[in-house]
Amino acid sequence: MNRAVVCAPLAVEGFALRGRVGPFPVVPTGMGPERSTAAAAHLGAGGSRPVLVAGVAGALAPGLRAGDLVVADEVRGPDGTVPVPTAVPLAAALRRLGLTVHVGPVLSAPEVVTGAAYARAAGTGAIAVDMESAWLAGAAAGGPFAVVRAIVDSPEHPLARPGTPLRGALALRNLRRAAPALRDWLAATGERTVLLAEPRSFCAGVERAIDVVDRALDRFGAPVYVRRQIVHNAHVVRRLQDRGAVFVQEVEEVPRGARVVLAAHGVAPAVREQAAARDLAVVDATCPLVTKVHAEVRRYAGRGDTVFLIGHADHEEVEGTVGEAPGDVVVVEDVEDAAIVEARDPERVAYAMQTTLAVDEAEEIAAVLRGRFPTLTPPRRDDICYATTNRQRAVRAVAADADLVLVIGSQNSSNSKRLAEVAAREAPPPTCSTT
Ligand code: SF4
């Protein structure tokens, strides 16, 4: 059972949200530290629970205007600081509602901050000030905790001014507008089942490439030069850099006679020639399944075919594969391309694929090509590698049962992007992320 609760210190704040945050109770907790402490003791008595504090606040940082929302990423009180790790996704959900949102520390002061106290409070680096959140954090008792405050006053527009009722009404209106995002946050804090796709994580080709660089470092010591990212994964690249790997874009950047590792995605023959011209000691980490596609393209081009390469023109693997026969390979990125591409001789045509495409999308493109070129020669065996296919199948299975699919990978990873697309196609509308 989800015991999430909204703490609204003032009655007007509770009124703004009551009935708008789904089944979750909006509890009036009272103004100031004493009432907040008592409410926290009462609410937290049954053990940890998700707590969302919602109300109004004073601005401390410049640029905050009446009605803006502040989402605390930490709450600072007299007894210490409470981190609020869910601030960023909650702020993003609020921004999607068209609200102006600032994320930063919120200071909880024991009394109304006015005059010189404002400057002192602003000097702490907090962006807003309230009188309850630090004490209400105790109600969560270690459970999920969030603070959303709508700005009413600021050093330029203090509370004791005629404009305060108008600014207060604006703040409460925006708190009301925030209700759908607050409701979703509360709902998301309930018990969750995490489904892990199987298989996941690195494929054998990537494991091998990483291992090649590690072994080169073990055996020859730093520096070991690596052309391009050995794999499209920022964490792996950083770890290898820390060990002494130096990543370069082109072999021209490698000192003559040095050792260079070629990444898993493969390279054009011209790159090997450049490496030889510089007397580089080449360690080849190209995945054998990419090498297989290169061989295929060489064979088809060698017998005079135009080779349609289904893939993304700007991907390193495709650049390398095209380099096997630059005059004979035509990159086909989508069904639109497939509908218009031409061949020297429409009777002598073949196709190959980038290894990390989405299987269903690539098949659609191939079907258009087959429809236009009846004698089109397909790859002998599937070019989309077993690792890509299996992971897409696993994501599809998970997406069918999930509310949200998270794909954890790098933005420049073709595999990660395709997995997010596959999940989105499988069960719309889950939110699929690549990070
Ligand atoms: S071709 Fe497949 S197995 Fe090889 S590195 Fe690429 S994704 Fe991994």
DSSP 130-148: ESSHHHHHHHHTTS-EEEE
Q: Quick one: pLDDT band at residue 428, thresholds 50, 70, 90?
A: low
Q: Quick one: pLDDT band at residue 430, thresholds 50, 70, 90?
A: very low
The DSSP line for 96-138 is: TTT--EEEEEEEE-SS---THHHHHHHTTT-SEEESSHHHHHH
pLDDT of residue 192: 81
pLDDT at 431 over 50: no
- 287 CB near ligand 1 (under 6 Å): yes
- Distance, CA 355 to ligand 1 centroid (Å)? 7
- 321 CB near ligand 1 (under 6 Å): no
- Distance, CA 194 to ligand 1 centroid (Å)? 27
| pLDDT tens readout for residues 143-190 | 999 999 999 998 888 887 888 999 999 999 999 999 999 999 999 887
- 387 CB near ligand 1 (under 6 Å): yes
Question: CA-CA distances (angstroms) from residue 213 to 124, 204, 255, 257, 378?
Answer: 47, 15, 18, 18, 34
Q: What integer is the mean pLDDT of 73-87?
A: 95
pLDDT of residue 54: 98
Three-class SS state of 346:
coil
pTM of the model: 0.67
Q: Using alpha carbons, select from 227, 216, 400, 254 the residue that is nearest to residue 320.
A: 227
Q: What integer is the mean pLDDT of 279-302?
A: 97
- Distance, CA 61 to ligand 1 centroid (Å)? 49
* Nearest-atom index, ligand 1, CA of 203: 8
pLDDT at 435 over 80: no
Q: Quick one: pLDDT band at residue 115, thresholds 50, 70, 90?
A: confident
* Alpha carbon distance 109, 320 (integer Å): 61
The full set of domains in the chain, from first to last, is 5-188 (3.40.50.1580), 204-287 (3.40.50.11270), 289-372 (3.40.1010.20), 386-434 (3.40.1010.20)
Of the listed 296, 316, 317, 324, which one is catalytic? Answer: 317
Copy the structure tokens of residue 240.
């290898």
Q: Quick one: pLDDT band at residue 432, thresholds 50, 70, 90?
A: very low
Average pLDDT over the chain reads: 93
Q: Please tell me the least confidently modeled range out of 45-54, 188-197, 299-308.
A: 188-197
Q: Cis (ω within 30 of 0) for the bond into 155?
A: no
| pLDDT tens readout for residues 235-281 | 899 999 999 999 999 999 999 999 999 999 999 999 999 999 999 99
Q: Using alpha carbons, select from 78, 77, 101 the residue that is nearest to residue 91.
A: 101
Q: What integer is the mean pLDDT of 413-430?
A: 82
Mind spelling out the 3-state secondary structure of 227-245?
ECCCCCCHHHHHHHHHHCE
Q: Please tell me the least confidently modeled range out of 85-89, 117-121, 346-350, 428-432.
A: 428-432
User: 193 or 57: which carries more pLDDT confidence?
Assistant: 57
Is 317 a residue of the active site?
Answer: yes
pLDDT at 361 over 70: yes
Amino acid identity, position 401 = D
The Cβ of residue 430 has, within 10 Å, a number of other Cβ atoms equal to 18
| pLDDT tens readout for residues 191-233 | 788 999 999 989 999 999 999 999 999 999 999 999 998 888 8
